[in-house]
């Protein structure tokens, strides 16, 4: 049994990781300022004896937690959808920079391993396909996505620096587009947007020509990869994602088919000039180091997710 401090536990991915860690018998203390996360994601844990929640912003001083006796400190807090981080760009920069430093200090003082939830966005609009961990990226430092991309790149840089300077064990996951239950209907991501539009028979809003690609990973697979990485002894970044690549247009058509919707496609301008044109993980490292590969096919995962969103589509 380990004692784990986890930021961002009220978010979509953080709440699933919290559930899993508790299920595995660990003690979990969540810090979250509820900027984009939701209380309802953790409501079912209110009376759990090994669970604690504190409404706190990790970009502020955390020195009172230095003596917490943590075995692992996990930093999963950040606005993560393009709509959310465009709405909260300063908070996004702060949680990736000050927040990462503050949590690294907690890990350093308590001798804990440090886990960083990073992202495929560190590759920017990539020129290498599929993206391997050794690829250093093609990233705009001035565009509208830079508040997220560069905050995560800084977060990785300071994490690796703490590892070199202080010998802190680090785990860095680069998550690729993850979806599933608890992802907010209104966070603007393509999966909730298209499913909600399809369920309501509204037009499906494709940005640009729909030829850009993404590779979607079901949340249960993502959580499995994260937990395996957390308990591994591997200090380099690891991509976790599902390498089934599809265009956004193909994705829209799949959702129409799976929902039996009457929705039509409608095309809108791209909201971000630096919207990645292709994204697909190379997962050789996760296979080799963690023995991990996705188990849920896109069709199965989307069917589960559609079933979840039906309650909100009435």
Single out the catalytic residue among 85, 123, 148, 309.
Answer: 148
CA distance 63 to 103: 9
CA distance 163 to 108: 10
Applying CB under 6 A, among 50, 87, 109, 207 the residue interacting with ligand UDP is: 207
Closest C-alpha to 117, from 99, 136, 135, 143: 99
Question: What angle is formed at CA 262 by the lines to CA 259 and CA 265, rounded to 5 degrees?
Answer: 100
Minimum CB distance to ligand UDP, residue 291 (Å)? 27
Question: What angle is formed at CA 295 by the lines to CA 245 and CA 73, rounded to 5 degrees?
Answer: 95
User: Is residue 239 a contact residue for ligand UDP (CB under 6 A)?
Assistant: no
Active-site residue 148, yes or no? yes
User: Is residue 275 a contact residue for ligand UDP (CB under 6 A)?
Assistant: yes
* Matching residue, tokens 């395996």: 228
Contact letters (x/-) for ligand UDP, 63-102, by CB under 6 A? ------------------xx--------------------
Q: 5 or 151: whose CB is closer to ligand UDP? A: 151
Tokens of 96: 């990736």
* Matching residue, tokens 């996760």: 286
CA distance 285 to 292: 9
Applying CB under 6 A, among 42, 72, 151, 190 the residue interacting with ligand UDP is: 190
Applying CB under 6 A, among 248, 283, 286, 306 the residue interacting with ligand UDP is: 248
Which residues, numbered 138-177, are part of the site for ligand UDP (CB under 6 A)?
177
Torsion angles phi and psi, residue 95, rounded to 5: -70, -30
Minimum CB distance to ligand UDP, residue 66 (Å)? 34
Active site residues: 148
Q: Which residues bind ligand UDP (CB under 6 A)?
A: 81-82, 177, 188-190, 193, 205-207, 212, 214, 248, 270, 275
């Amino acid at each position: 049994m380990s004692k784990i401090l986890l930021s961002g536990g009220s978010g979509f991915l953080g709440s699933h990781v919290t559930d899993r860690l508790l299920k595995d018998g660990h003690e979990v203390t969540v810090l979250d300022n509820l900027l984009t996360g939701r209380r309802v994601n953790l409501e079912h844990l209110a009376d759990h004896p090994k669970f604690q929640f504190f409404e706190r912003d990790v970009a502020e001083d955390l020195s009172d937690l230095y003596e917490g006796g943590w075995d692992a400190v996990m930093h999963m807090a950040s606005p993560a959808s393009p709509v959310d981080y465009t709405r909260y760009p300063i908070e996004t920069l702060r949680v990736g920079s000050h927040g990462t430093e503050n949590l690294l200090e907690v890990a350093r003082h308590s001798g804990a391993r440090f886990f960083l939830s990073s992202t495929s966005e560190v590759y920017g609009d990539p020129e290498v396909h599929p993206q391997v961990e050794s690829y250093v990226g093609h990233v705009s430092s001035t565009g509208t996505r830079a508040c997220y991309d560069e905050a995560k790149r800084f977060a990785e840089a300071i994490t690796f620096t703490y590892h070199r300077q202080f010998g802190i064990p680090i785990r860095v996951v680069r998550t690729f587009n993850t979806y599933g239950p608890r992802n907010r209907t209104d966070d603007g991501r393509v999966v909730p947007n298209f499913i909600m539009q399809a369920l309501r028979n509204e037009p499906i809003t494709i940005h640009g020509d729909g030829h850009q690609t993404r590779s979607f990973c079901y949340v249960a697979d993502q959580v499995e990869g994260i937990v395996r990485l957390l308990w591994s002894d591997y200090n380099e970044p690891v991509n976790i994602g599902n390498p089934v690549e599809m265009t956004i247009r193909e994705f829209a058509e799949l959702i129409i088919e799976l929902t039996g919707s009457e929705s039509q496609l409608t095309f809108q301008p791209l909201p971000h000039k630096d919207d990645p044109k292709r994204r697909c993980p190379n997962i050789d490292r996760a296979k080799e180091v963690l023995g991990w590969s996705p188990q849920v096919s896109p069709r199965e995962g989307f069917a589960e997710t559609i079933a979840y969103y039906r309650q909100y589509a009435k």
